[in-house]
Structure 1
Amino acid sequence: MKRYIGSNIDVLFDSEKCIHSGTCVRGLPNVFNVKKKPWVNADGERAEKIAALIETCPSGALQYILKTSEESK
């Protein structure tokens, strides 16, 4: 699992679980952009908005850790 560190949220990505639905890149293109390296910019949007989008990931390949709670979701 790869961890992308942001100021208020860390984004975790498990490439083996990903089904490439595109929910992330369509939902928050400033955060998830496969044309950039790294492809996840954990500071590209408010942490709460990133967390809400990650909750909609159909495969569970994306997870997050909010820095305020230190709980992984």
Structure 2
Amino acid sequence: DPILVAFVAKNAPKGSLSTALSAYNFIGMSSSIIAPFLTGWITDQFGSMQIGFYLAAVLLLVGLVVFSFVKEDEVVAFD
């Protein structure tokens, strides 16, 4: 997501920008490993893939709410 990459780049320490972006990429790619396993487990337990879809929608909404409360002036970059 270009908006989140720009947010990370703006608020990361200049000397650790590559580390911050690598950590962001690692966390984002972890979902491509966890999501299929979790969706398969939910399908096996409840017999429907719809619950996995609703879980994904809820997680997106939680992320949207959390991101909307972050103020640019209050973000602290650790040097």
Fold shared per TM-score above 0.5: no
More helix per residue: 2
More strand per residue: 1
Query: Which has the greater radius of gyration?
Result: 2
